Every structure is written in structure tokens, then in C-alpha cells.
Amino acid sequence: MSQSPFQLKTIRGIFSFGSSQQSQEKAGSQDRGRSSPQPIRCAGPDGVGSGRGAQRKKRSLNLALSQVTLGSPVEGLAASSSLRQASVEDLADANALDSLKTAGTGTQQNSMCVSQSQDFFCTPDFITPNDAHVKLPAPGTHAGVGGALGLGNQSNPPTRDFTPLGCKRPRSVFDVLMCPENRRSQLQAYTQELNAYKPPGTRVRSGGLKAMKSVPKSPLCVKNPFRREIPNVPGHVHQEDLLMKSEDEEMSFVVKRKKGPDSRRKRRRKKMSACIAGLNSGRYRSDFKELQKLGHGSFSTVYRCIHRLDGTAYAVKHVKKNLNTTNAEIALALQEVQAYSALGPHPFLLAYHTSWIENSRLYIQLELSDCCLTDLIKQGKTFDEDELKWMLWSVLQALNHMHANKLAHMDVKPDNIHVVGNRYKIGDLGTSTKHVCEEEEEEAENATKGGGLSALCLFREGDARYMAPELLKDDLGHLDKSDIWALGAAAYELARKCPLPMKGDNYRDIREDKLAGIPSFSAEFFQLVSSMMRSDPAERPGAAEIMQLQIFASVRKTAFRESFRPNSFLTCTSSRVYCARVLPHQSSDHISMFFTWKSSVLESGFMPSKVGEKELVPCRRSSSIQRAYLPPPPTAMHSFVLYWK
Ligand SMILES: Nc1ncnc2c1ncn2[C@@H]1O[C@H](COP(=O)(O)OP(=O)(O)OP(=O)(O)O)[C@@H](O)[C@H]1O
């Protein structure tokens, strides 16, 4: 029989494992003089590397050898026969086969084999430790190295000394699942969960592993026990939302893909891959349960989702743009999350939670709003003056915060003004950009020798209906005032109950200070709107300036009371009031607060000397905890009504 160099080398390697002194000597002179057994490598025809086939053979030989060496004599025999089968083409030398046969029958030979084969494996668990305290058993003892390695010799229980890293080998989920007892208990647990969550009419396969397969591998949506589930509170989760969907429903997102000539095959492949990945292939699918599409814009689609672990509903925005594009596109896509994080939390900005990139697309987790103003308009809701003032005040707070942080929103419109409980919050910071005043712009221009604002930051135009006149002339020096114009236009639209023109004479008129009157609204309100929509940005008041106007006096009071709702602010002890949070939107540095005893205190029988009078307590503006000292209180238990001057 002809022998290739590869075959010869393999046989020689095995032959050297044949444990007898004689055979070791035969194995080749290169092994001589080594103090410790060296791993034997399968070499390819060139004597250096090895092909895929050679590696496969090596693996099968390894397996067989390990069985020969570590098992009982009977197992050893079986293994040796399997080795014979595995390497029958390679074993050209009859001597090698003989030596293998003898290896399977003698325990002494076993131990010798193991002492070398452990090196052969070259995996951390099988590498012979160099430590002095690791003693290999003497050849000829029954324990053998198999016992020393902790591989199941009963007379010599394994000791941790022989684990190279001194720690337990981590067990994979697969090990745990494949253990019959664990599998049974897992199955029972799954069945219980299944019964608990199964919505009526859900088709669930039953019996054995099939049932396990039918359960989606993503974690179940859990109910958050700390949440006060009050209907109509933002993020309220309905019980049925938590119910587990059937496998088919969970898979539907995989199946609902582009249709094409080969869509069926693709769908099957995707379904398969999702099955294999246990539906955990992406962060979005593993962390969130998608409930419903909320809406879409030119840049993104937004879904209502429940976070599987905290059991709270969020809005998750999928940005359409593929991020495998130019740097400018990536920067534009990331602008929204960067703006949210730079601005931080604010009571009148939609809360931003986190963002991540998955399959080259950006995902943004946001606070879930009840709806946006456009939805309300579509539902036929009309706004009275008080409501519009409250809306203007809320958005002005947010804009003031943005402008103070040198950011301009650039897309203020009813679509991006959200309703969360009784508040109006601004969202969609995708178009927000850096706002710089003229001098800063000039400085930057000189420094960069570039062209205008575009040299400083990326700029994306918003909706043309709400675009200020100066933007149409490419004047980007007053971006903060452009936001004010857009907000004024939105209020004008809501008050007149008539959509803004897209083009034509009316489009030009409203940009040339020719506004039509607003019936059933006060002259004061009309004046406010017209001042916000002045054609010259220099004549337009800023957000902070508008909030100080007399028209907002009543709103300020309400806003202050609203911001100090009992659950958000006060704890009363015997002599102090702890203001847990003074909201950052308060414009003045010092806030004067009036405290009066509430009627409940009077009802308790105490009659303070200053009934009807108010205590003035100055309190520094801060977002940290403040203490306001009061005169000794009437009782330990009391409450306050606060007014803001
Ligand atoms: N946090 C949220 N909660 C509830 N619905 C939301 C939320 N964010 C967005 N939506 C809905 O999704 C729609 C599209 O969102 P958004 O305006 O942010 O997308 P966009 O692609 O940036 O739109 P645009 O074309 O205006 O730039 C909105 O009109 C709104 O109805």
C-alpha cells in the first residue's frame, strides 16, 4: 500500500502513543531528550500545516484516543475499534494497529497514553499543569491520570488542584438543558408559564421537546409590580399587552418581509435562522416586545413597545437610514440622540432613554406619548385660548432650554408636539442643530474659512409650512428665532382651525406680517402670535422674553402648582419643608414661595394665628434638594398650598 507523508506522520504519532518504551523509541528521534511529553502535531504533506481533511482526521483520532485512554478497558476496546474505523485509510502500518489494540486492553498502558494524550488535546482543561503541587500519579497505579484530571475515577475523586485555573468549568446552557432531569423541570416551568400567559385561542404545540421549541426564547414580558397601573397614565401597560403572543405572531415580523420571486425561500430561511437564534438575534427583539406602529415620518418609523424586563411601554424609533453610508449621513442620523443627551432630562422634552445600532440602523428608545397635536386635530379636537396658552408655555419652556444650550429645534410643528398626561412635550430632535449668534458665526467662518453655518454643524430643513421667512432666504443667523416663528405658526393654525398654506399668496402673506384675525380669541392672544411671527427675526421676542409676558401670568401659577404635585415634591417634617425638586425651567434665580396652611389642618382643630396670611420663604433655584425653614408648624402632619410670585 502506498503511503503519503501525511499518513506516515499520523501513524508515527499514534505509534508513539503506544506506551511501550520500545514503541516510543521507534517513534522518532525528534522526541528524544524532551523532559516532558510534547504535543504531537498532525502535519500536512508539506510537513508544516494541515488541510481541513487532515484536521478532521486528527479530531476523530483525538476522540478515539481520549476514549481509549480515559475509559474502562471495555470502553477502551470499543473506542479503539472506532478509532480503527475512523482512521482505517490512514493506518497503513499494521504495527500501529497492534499497538493500538494493546493500548485498549492494559490499564498501565492506558495511563501512559493519557499522560501524553492530554497534551495532544491542547485545550486549557487538558494541558498538564506546570505547578509543583500537581502530581501526576505514578505509572501503574489504578487511578491513572484520568482520575488525576478529575475525569470520573471513583476511587480517586477529582480535586480542584487539577483544574488549571483553579475554578470550575462553566457549564453551558446546552449542558443544563440536555441533562434529562433539567430538561424535565425546564419543560414543566415552561408549561406553567405558558398556561399563565396563554391568551385565549393561542395555538401551542404540546408534548416533549416540541413544546419547548414552540416557546419563544426571548424573555417573557414581565409585569412591573412597582408601577401604579392607572389607565391614561403615560406608559400604562394593559394586561393583555403582557400576554405572550403565539409563536406564529412572534415570528410574523420575520415573515413579513419584502415580497419577490424568491421571497418564499428567503422567508423560510429567515424563519429558520430566527428559530436557531431563539429570536434573540438582535437587541430590539430580545429587549422589547413590539405592540403597534405609532407613526412614521420621512426619517423614521416609531413603534410602541414593552420592555420585556421592566414591563413599561416605550416608543422605539427605527431610523430608516442605513448607517453604512457617508460620514455626513451618519452624523445626521446621530444628531437626534446627541441632542437629547446634551440637553438632558427636561419636563417639557420627551424623555430619551437609550439608543443603539443594530443591522446598520439606529434605534432610539423614547418616552411614550399619548398622541401628538396632529392626532388631536385629526380627531376633530378644538383648542380654546387657555389650552393654547398652556401649550405655548410648555413648548416655550423646552425651546428656552434648548436655546440656552445653543441648540435650535428647526422642526417645531404640531406633529412634533406630543401630549403626555396633561403636559405638552416637544420631540423629534432629528433636525436640531447648533445655534450660534452672528458674531460667533463670523468668528467660526474666519477660523474655518468655510461657508457659513454649514461649516460649523450639519443642517437639515424642517417642514416648509412652518419655515420662517429668513430661512427661505438662507439666513441662518437666527435659528432660535426661527423656532419661535414656527411655534407661533403652529399656534396660529390651531387657533384658526385651518391648515397652514403650502404655497401661494397666503403662504407669502403670513411671512410678510399680514396675518388674518383669529375669531373668538382675545386681542392679546392675537398680538402674541403676531409678535412671534414677525418677518424680521430681530423684532421677534425670545422664548424667555415671551414667558415673562402678562398673558402667561395665570399659566405660570398653574405650572408652578403642577410642577409641585404632592408626589413629586414635598415631604413635611415638624418644622421643615423639603423641596425635593425645583424644576430647572423656573426662569428667575430666586423663587419666592408662599406657604399657607391647608384647610385640612384647620379642620384638625388647630387655629394658627396667621390664618389667611402667607409666609414668604425665599428658595434658591436649584435642581438639588432644598430646605425652606418655616415657623413652627401647627401639627406634625400638615400640608401646604404653594403659590409662586
Ligand atoms: N415618543 C413617541 N410616542 C408616541 N408616538 C410617537 C413618538 N415619537 C414619534 N411618534 C409618532 O411617530 C410619528 C413619526 O415620528 P417622528 O416625527 O419622530 O419621525 P420623523 O421621521 O423624524 O418625522 P419627520 O418627517 O417629521 O422628521 C409621529 O408623527 C408620531 O405620531
The 10s digit of each residue's pLDDT in 529-544 is 999 999 999 999 999 8
Contact 415, 297 (CB under 8 A): yes
Phi–psi pair at 626, nearest 5 degrees: -120, 150
pLDDT for residue 427: 93
The rounded distance, in Å, linking the Cα atoms of 173 and 642 is 58
Element (H, E) at 425: strand 423-426
Residue 595: name the closest of 625, 555, 639 by CA.
639
The share of the chain scoring above pLDDT 70, in percent, equals 39
Q: Which three cell numbers stand for residue 109?
A: 498502558
350 CB less than 6 Å from ligand 1? yes
294 CB less than 6 Å from ligand 1? yes
427 CB less than 6 Å from ligand 1? yes
Mean pLDDT rounded to a whole number for the chain: 61
Ligand 1: residue of 291, 293, 301, 302 to mutate (most ligand atoms within 8 A of CB) is 302
Determine the atom of ligand 1 nearest the C-alpha atom of 336.
22
CA of 368 from ligand 1 middle (Å) equals 11
Ligand 1: residue of 292, 300, 365 to mutate (most ligand atoms within 8 A of CB) is 300
User: Over the stretch 88-125, which tens digit does the pLDDT of each residue have?
Assistant: 344 344 444 444 444 444 434 444 433 333 333 333 33
Element (H, E) at 484: helix 479-496
Least confident of 527-531, 551-555, 604-608: 604-608
CA of 328 from ligand 1 middle (Å) equals 22
CA of 411 from ligand 1 middle (Å) equals 12
DSSP states of 205-262: --SHHHHHHHS-SSPPP---TTS---TTSTT---HHHHSPPPHHHHHHHHHS----TT
Contact 399, 426 (CB under 8 A): yes
Contact 126, 65 (CB under 8 A): no
User: Over the stretch 430-458, which tens digit does the pLDDT of each residue have?
Assistant: 888 887 655 555 655 555 444 433 334 56
CA of 497 from ligand 1 middle (Å) equals 22
pLDDT for residue 586: 37
293 CB less than 6 Å from ligand 1? no
297 CB less than 6 Å from ligand 1? yes
Phi–psi pair at 504, nearest 5 degrees: 90, -165
Q: Which three cell numbers stand for residue 381?
A: 379636537
Least confident of 279-288, 305-314, 424-433: 279-288
The rounded distance, in Å, linking the Cα atoms of 154 and 350 is 64
CA of 418 from ligand 1 middle (Å) equals 9
pLDDT for residue 469: 92
The answer to whether 168 is a known ligand-binding residue is no
Ligand 1: residue of 317, 352, 353 to mutate (most ligand atoms within 8 A of CB) is 317
Give the mean pLDDT of 384-407: 90
Determine the atom of ligand 1 nearest the C-alpha atom of 319.
21
Which residue type sits at 532?
M
CA of 301 from ligand 1 middle (Å) equals 7
Residue 498 above 70 pLDDT? Answer: yes
DSSP states of 338-380: HHHHHH---TTBPPEEEEEEETTEEEEEEPPPSEEHHHHHHTT
388 CB less than 6 Å from ligand 1? no
pLDDT for residue 308: 85
Contact 492, 356 (CB under 8 A): no
pLDDT tier for residue 302 given thresholds of 50, 70 and 90: very high
The rounded distance, in Å, linking the Cα atoms of 242 and 220 is 8
Least confident of 249-253, 403-407, 413-417: 249-253
pLDDT for residue 139: 42
CA of 247 from ligand 1 middle (Å) equals 29
- Residue with the smallest CA separation from ligand 1 atom 24 is 297
